[in-house]
Amino acid sequence: MLTKTSTYLSLLAASLAIFGPSAVSADWPWSNNGGNDGWNPPPPPPPPNGNPGWNPPPPPPPPQQWGRQIRPNWNWGKCMDVRGAVFANGTPVDIYDCNGTPAQNWIINRGSTKVQVAGTNFCLDAGNWPNSGTQLKIWTCYDNLPAQQWWYTDDNRIALQGRGFCTDLTNGGLWNGNIIQIWQCTNNNNNQVWTTQ
């Protein structure tokens, strides 16, 4: 009759002969657990994320949205700008020489859109009581906030949804620091034309 020790030594010798020294480890899970004199398989690895079922891979991150410059009435030298590149609630939005800084990079899409400063959580905002002459500013972006719900039209106007107001180049002025306002949307008003690049 074979003993536990002789069984172990026989298996050890066979493993060495077949697989070489790397197949034998001092921490093989042999045990003497009251009747099971053989090998106990190692426990299965823990399930990922503690879920005993299969986990599909996570969805890919959303594509990086790079900002675009918004320019008044096809003017390639001027851009919509966050004044002084101060990214804080209430900072005015003005016109400034295009300079490629983050203060001039906006995420905007045709149709219903937020107009968001790229790489931040600040959006173009018309305030609580929008009216003709209201100056635009940035504010923390919120979903479904009427002051931040815009419509970028096919004729290049950025209209405050359901309000009848459009972003407007105040007095048509292209000087640096001229704060952009909203004004009642009107046809053929070049102060309300905004193109992107």
Given a cut of 70, whether residue 123 has pLDDT beyond it is yes
pLDDT at 47: 54
1: helix, coil or strand?
coil
CA distance linking residue 160 with residue 164, whole number of Å: 7
Given a cut of 90, whether residue 153 has pLDDT beyond it is yes
pLDDT digits (tens, 9 = 90+) for 48-107: 555 555 566 665 544 446 789 999 999 999 999 999 999 999 999 999 999 999 999 999
Q: Could you tell me the pTM of the whole model?
A: 0.67
pLDDT at 66: 73
Tokens of 176: 């640096």
What residues have CB less than 8 Å from 70, skipping those under 6 apart?
A: 79, 80, 104, 106, 108, 115, 158, 194, 195, 196
Given a cut of 60, whether residue 38 has pLDDT beyond it is no
